[in-house]
Amino acid sequence: MVFAARNMPALRPVRCEFSAGSPHFYWNLDLRLAALADILRKNDVNVGAIAAVVSVHGPKGSARLRGNDFRRMIGYDTLKSTLFAVAVDGEWARFSGRGYGHGVGMCQWGAKGMAEQGYTARQILEFYYPGTVPSTLDRTAR
């Protein structure tokens, strides 16, 4: 999870099956291991030639990376989410993933899908932020 706060029931992942229309529902990324090693080295993770991912192993050592740190290093638009599997295939790291984002909160494509199926705004908010109660803010309170 991206967010450091632990006991936030409204910010927990929910499985969203309403976003099937998204172009990012499933995605693949092939990245040369040499390019991946360069990216990591630029981010002070120097293990040499990469032999395994995400616990990255190479002749100079190993580094265990948090998923979001790894995604930040690769690029948020390149590695679309931390929900992925990866296999080393020759000189390539082959990623297969799902979704586009940080994995908590509202999925825009899912909310669109729910709205198109007739769900109300309140139902959509309750789905993506379970355990919360929608209310209004009192703007006069200080």
pLDDT of residue 56: 84
pLDDT of residue 39: 95
Instruction: Taking the CA atoms of 33, 39, 41 and 43 in sequence, report the sign of the dihedral they define.
Output: negative
Q: 2: pLDDT confidence band, cut at 50, 70 and 90?
A: very low
- 92-137 per-position pLDDT tens digit: 999 999 888 876 778 888 899 999 999 999 999 988 888 888 788 7
Q: 23: pLDDT confidence band, cut at 50, 70 and 90?
A: confident
pLDDT of residue 142: 59
Average pLDDT over residues 49-75: 88
In the predicted model, what is the mean pLDDT of the chain? 85
For the whole prediction, is pTM greater than 0.85?
Answer: no
Six-digit token string for 126: 């309750």
Six-digit token string for 57: 């192993």
Separation between Cα atoms, residue 96 and residue 128, nearest integer Å: 24
